[in-house]
Amino acid sequence: MKRNVGGADRAIRIITGLAFASLVYFLPGAWKWLGIISVPLLFTGLTQKCAINRLLGINSCKL
């Protein structure tokens, strides 16, 4: 699969992923599970590959 996540899209995914990951430390009890949302956001931001973007034909990477 080619890269299809770039620029601002990548930065937004990484920052949002880190924000959701921090919920694990700040939220009590079962609410910590919201931190799971961070996994796909960080993965797609760091690898620059998103299966959903590929299925929809979206490419924000200029390379």
DSSP for 23-42 reads HHHHS-GGGGGGGGGHHHHH
Letter string b/e over residues 2-20, b meaning 16 or more CB atoms within 10 A of that residue's CB: ebbbeeebbeebbeebeeb
Predicted TM-score of the model (pTM): 0.87
Reported as a pLDDT band with limits 50, 70 and 90, residue 59 is very high
Residue with tokens 């996540």: 5
Asked if pLDDT for residue 63 goes beyond 90, the answer is no
Q: What angle do CA 42, 21, 5 make, to 5 degrees?
A: 15
pLDDT in tens, 38-53: 999 999 999 999 999 9
Cβ 63 vs Cβ 2: under 8 Å: no
Asked if pLDDT for residue 18 goes beyond 80, the answer is yes
- What is the reported pLDDT for 4? 92
